Amino acid sequence: MGSEQIRRWESGALAHAVTDPFGQGPVPWLRGDEAYFGDSGQVVPWYVDAEQVEDAPEEPRRGTRSTGRRPPVRRAAGGPRAADDVRRQIKGFASTGAVAPGEAVDFHITVDPPQEFSVDVYRIGHYGGDGAAKTTTSPRLSGIVQPPPLTADRTVSCHHWWLSWRLQIPAYWQIGAYVAVLTTADGYRSHIPFTVRDDHPADLLLVLPDITWQAYNLYPEDGRTGASFYHAWDEEGRLLGEADAATTVCFDRPYAGAGLPMHVGHAYDFIRFAERYGYDLAYADARDLHAGRVDPTRYRGLVFPGHDEYWSVPMRRATELAREQGTSLVFLSANTMYWQVELSPSPSGAPDRLLTCRKRRGPGKPALWREIDRPEQLLLGIQYAGRVPDPHPLIVRNADHWLWEGTGAHEGEPVENLVAGEADRYFPRTPLPEHDERVLLAHSPYPDAEGVPRHQETSLYRAPSGAWVFASGTFAWSPALDRPGHADPRIQRATANLLDRICKRD
């Protein structure tokens, strides 16, 4: 976008949401009694401000399945109200990355006006279709107004906030993806995601893309202070593009809006699917892979479940080494490993709390992997081609391949709306990875924003080590696994075929 000024986002809105049909979606857990339904009969996302959306004619009703889209809705009576980044009714962050059972998570939380609040902690999973289960609730805590965020050269940090609550992770807790749900006494709500991991053996290691989540984080989305790798504000409260955005962002701050990262729903879609069908999962964050806290060669496969655009050199080195030693790789989104980033300590010395990506600014080597002779295709088998303005069908190719077995898919069959958000394809002039076999499993035409014909492709190859490397080439693959309104049995079966073969080392 350069320095072009684009529309100002309303407070509490999720940045980029209007261009990402398969981004956050409705609240990706709590489909049972604690979910709230609007007048359309659809789940009301907690990041929607009830005062800023339209009313619809009918009364809310329970039990209706969501389509995953965002119609105008009104918060049902008695439901929670989403905190925002202007009034900061309740916002918080965790000052550690992934933790192991027996370790502690420190939460730093601001509450305005000061009042009591509580924290309900949920583990994401299938849980009979509910999407999560409550694991613990804090005592009533005393909330204070924390100091304003500190800023330096567009970098926003809240590292100076006081500790609000320390959660000691019991030894018996399951590893997994967790969400702390913060609720004030007067009914405002926000969220803090965190991960519990350990070193137990498992078939599959799920790598949550916390680095990419932070790259998109515009906190505080207040029209003045917030900045991400994509946006910042000018003096008049207008949102600026990438040329004026941050080059360094900090993990010591809440996520914008309701406190959930962009695209976090993609990871939760995969987790619900995998737990429903009994796959043996271990968990880690991208920063664990970067820092060497996990050994990816111990697993039969690594799964990258969502948008995972920002990679450090150690992340890529560890993943390539895993492939060379026979660990399979599963990339369920698009635009993976596009930008090269660096991680550095916070001013207090806490490791990996600052994330830097110069993009095309300043002297030195480019930050795109493909511009330093390390194109993504050398690992993935395909690479980023561009945005998809509107969802289009994925067109099945090589339907007799074992990945499509049992799906009922035929050659040239469309899988509706599966090419969405962003797309990858094979670039003939870009080197391929070493492989013993390789196949393209979809070839899907779509027009770009200017109407120019483009196409998406889905790739699978087998490395000389025996490792399989799968890349879906679209944002919409993970939502097709378990998101209401988007789940597709053909994609569910194809993914199961892939994971079964990896877990059995076929």
pLDDT tens profile 321-353: 999 999 999 999 999 999 999 999 988 889 999
The amino acid at residue 382 is: I
> CA torsion, points 82, 85, 91, 92, in degrees to nearest 10?
130
Is 67 a residue whose pLDDT tops 60? Answer: no
In the numeric block, which tokens belong to residue 180? 């702390």
- The span from the CA of 36 to the CA of 40, in Å, is 11
Question: In this predicted model, which residue has the larger pLDDT, 64 or 374?
Answer: 374
Distances (CA, A) of 5 to 85, 153, 249: 21, 19, 21
Mean pLDDT (the chain) is: 85
pLDDT tens profile 273-284: 999 999 999 999
Is 383 a residue whose pLDDT tops 80? Answer: yes
- What number is the average pLDDT over the span 267-272? 93
Task: Give the per-residue pLDDT at 78.
Answer: 52
- What number is the average pLDDT over the span 116-126? 94
* Confidence category of residue 175, pLDDT binned at 50, 70, 90: very high
Is 39 a residue whose pLDDT tops 70? Answer: no
Is 429 a residue whose pLDDT tops 90? Answer: yes
Is 364 a residue whose pLDDT tops 60? Answer: yes
- The span from the CA of 260 to the CA of 181, in Å, is 10
Is 391 a residue whose pLDDT tops 90? Answer: yes
Residues 6+ apart with CB under 8 A from 359: 229, 242, 247, 339, 367
- What number is the average pLDDT over the span 311-328? 97
- The span from the CA of 426 to the CA of 457, in Å, is 7
Is 28 a residue whose pLDDT tops 70? Answer: no
How many other C-beta atoms are found inside a 10 Å radius of the C-beta of residue 201? 9
Percent of the chain with pLDDT over 70: 83
Model-level pTM?
A: 0.87
Is 83 a residue whose pLDDT tops 80? Answer: yes
Residues 6+ apart with CB under 8 A from 483: 25, 28, 68, 265, 269
- The span from the CA of 391 to the CA of 394, in Å, is 9
- The span from the CA of 400 to the CA of 254, in Å, is 47
Question: In this predicted model, which residue has the larger pLDDT, 139 or 199?
Answer: 139
* Confidence category of residue 438, pLDDT binned at 50, 70, 90: very high
In the numeric block, which tokens belong to residue 66? 């969501």
Task: Give the per-residue pLDDT at 362.
Answer: 62
Is 299 a residue whose pLDDT tops 80? Answer: yes
The amino acid at residue 370 is: R
Is 24 a residue whose pLDDT tops 70? Answer: no
Domain ranges of the chain: 37-78
* Confidence category of residue 363, pLDDT binned at 50, 70, 90: low
478 and 266 in contact (C-beta within 8 Å)? Answer: yes
